[in-house]
Amino acid sequence: MKIVLAEKVSPATLAVFAAEPGWEVLTHDQLPNGLPAALADADALVVRSAVQVDDALMEHAPKLRVIGRAGVGVDNIDAEAATRRGVVVMNTPGANAVAVAELTIGLMLALARKLPTANNTMHAGKWEKKSLQGAELRGKTLGILGLGRIGLEVARRARGFGLEIIGSDPFVSAAVARENGIRLVALDEVIASSDYITLHVGLTPQTAGVINAKSLALMKKGVRIINCARGELVDEAALVAALKSGHVGGAALDVFTVEPPKDSPYAEFDNVILTPHIAGSTAEAQEAVGIQIAMQVREYLKLGVVQNAVNLPSLSHEEYVQLAPYIDLAGRLGSFLAQAGKSGIEAIDITYAGALVDAKTDLVRNAAIEGLLQGSENVNRINAAAIAQERGIRVHEEKEESHRGGAATVLTIHLHTAAGRSHATATVIHGEQPRLLEFDGIDIEAPLEGNLLVCRNLDVPGVIGKIGTILGEQGVNIANFALGRERSGEKPVKALAVVQVDAPVSGAVLDALMTIEALLEAKLVQLQ
């Protein structure tokens, strides 16, 4: 085996490969003819974030079997190109979870005890003891948004401080939360009840700007906010306004929408702690990331064991080409249900019919789960099933030879949630166009792409016209308008409209639609 370590790694990382008899290992400083030449007969490539592993680079690596990313993000790796070439792409999610959790707790303590101000005044030769009275964490309520690996690590440590811990995450079962001392609640309760709020969610259309003027207004006066996740989760202007008014008692920010931030509006506040995206930057975390990716790559090369892959290693190019439209369909249908269906997933049932019965459906299944868990951290098409299991979500699959509708090959997803059941069926037409066929018992044919307004209403005259009128008044252009009806016996009872529009609509547009008396629900679903 030949392993190319294209960027600097720790001696412990190198030792994992060096211990294998007969393996050739080239480090970043042993590539006299450049990386492309070194990859000509390489089996594995390990990178961090600097090397761009695109299709052109992979063209020089005909024997390459696996790319290991020592870290979480894989923006520098063309995973789709790797999949087409049959190359496994692995990353190391969770390796820095303890580091991030520890900084989060440290920032909470620093806010509570005004440590930065105390340090600054002492260095300035001042003794400001009276003005630096702090507060204890004991007895306060900590709200955690996002209960993935990092969120759970924060909770485990926070318990030792006597905090009451509440959390919100639609992708974690109540049992997992309970085992970690967390009371699972709705997002609104976390916002309204917490003395400290810490963010540990991925960036999605649903989580972007989750801390905004509206949510800030609902928070307790004096609330403190910690963000070690993504800068885009916080509406900067809204937080600054809340800090100026005194409604927010303090904030600790390790991440920013633009990094490094320029002319930060937070610089004027003594009660805001700013750190330069260092949550995962510990010697131990970097060491752990390197060792973990080395072990994953080694196990794959020796035993074929795949861990933390971001693509599918087991399909031939021909199989991948045939299955690709249905992989895409599954992701879209899962994402549709995640946004339009009920929240609080407890179990997932996936049914395949037609040509999918004889296909290798692991990636189809995982794409569906990935779509359903799109707001969860570090979920991808390979680790999706494992993450579902980790979060106490049961996944069941079954195959049936035919479907009651006219489509030959269809995919159906049934969700069992805390709020009830929800299900949808879809197919691919003309080999590339994803189509919704049914949603919660109502037959409908609608595109599964772009921006969709999903409206449920009583089946009475005038609703369609009012929807069109309001969208027109709001300057929203309709690209497609699909309708379906639910019947009780022979009499229509409820109806469903899936309206494809040219651009995402604002909350104000949804509010305007909800003024229609017969409209029961209006949701925006965003699909690629």
Residue of 434, 148, 207 lying closest to 339 (CA atoms): 207
Mark 251-284 as b/e (b = at least 16 C-beta within 10 Å). bbbbbbeeeebeebebeebebbbebeeebbebee
Which amino acid belongs to residue 249? G
Structure tokens at 170: 């639609």
Residue of 432, 408, 436, 435 lying closest to 423 (CA atoms): 436
What is the helix (H) or strand (E) element at residue 45, kind and residue range? strand 44-47
Strand 164-168 and strand 141-145: the pairing is parallel
- Is residue 449 helix, strand or coil? coil
The DSSP secondary-structure symbol of 326 reads H
Strand 24-26 and strand 2-5: the pairing is parallel
Structure tokens at 128: 């400001």
- Token look-up 């042993």 returns 30
Residue of 182, 222, 179, 226 lying closest to 200 (CA atoms): 226
156 has catalytic annotation:
no
What does residue 39 show for φ and ψ, rounded to 5 degrees? -85, -5
Catalytic residue among 230, 298, 332, 435: 230
317 has catalytic annotation:
no
Catalytic residue among 24, 59, 128, 259: 259
Answer yes or no: are the C-beta atoms of 219 and 246 closer than 8 Å. no
Catalytic residue among 277, 299, 449, 486: 277
In this structure, how many other beta carbons lie within 10 angstroms of the beta carbon of residue 55? 12
Structure tokens at 481: 């308008």
What is the helix (H) or strand (E) element at residue 10, kind and residue range? none
N residues, the chain: 528
> What whole-number distance in Å separates Cα of residue 295 and Cα of residue 300?
9
> What whole-number distance in Å separates Cα of residue 295 and Cα of residue 421?
41
Residue of 22, 61, 68 lying closest to 293 (CA atoms): 68
Residue of 381, 377, 391 lying closest to 361 (CA atoms): 381
Strand arrangement, sheet containing 519-526: 478-488, 491-501, 451-458, 519-526
Answer yes or no: are the C-beta atoms of 453 and 523 closer than 8 Å. yes
277 has catalytic annotation:
yes
Which amino acid belongs to residue 22? G
As annotated, the active-site residues are 230, 259, 277
